[in-house]
């Protein structure tokens, strides 16, 4: 991840915050987690509403909708019935 890539992600986060403010659906940044992907990831910090995302909550894996995502680029298991 380069500094340019970091800036693109940060701008996307800013756009999400603007959208959520417009529709009065604010993000709860205290519940946000950070996962850094890739062996050469520089582990930049990202912010929403001037609050650091994942402050104290950097995770190595996260399960969502039955799919386990890990930061080690391992193969992700495909839930049965999707293939």
**Cα dihedral: 27, 66, 80, 82 (round 10):** 10
pLDDT at 77: 58
pTM over 0.75: no
**Residues, the chain:** 83
CA Rg value for the chain: 15
Structure tokens at 37: 């992907």
pLDDT at 71: 86
Q: What is the mean pLDDT of each run of 10 residues along the chain (83 residues)?
A: 88 95 91 85 89 82 87 63 57
| Residue 61 CA neighbour count, 13 Å, CB half | 12
Ramachandran angles phi, psi of 61, nearest 5°: -155, 155
């Amino acid at each position: 991840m380069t500094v340019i890539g970091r800036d693109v992600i940060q701008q996307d986060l800013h756009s999400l915050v603007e959208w959520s403010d417009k529709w009065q659906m604010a993000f709860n940044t205290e519940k946000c987690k950070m996962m850094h992907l890739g062996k050469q990831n520089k582990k930049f910090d990202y912010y929403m509403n001037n609050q650091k995302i994942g402050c104290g909550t950097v995770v190595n894996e996260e399960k969502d909708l039955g799919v386990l995502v890990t930061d080690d680029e391992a193969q992700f298991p495909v839930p049965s019935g999707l293939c």
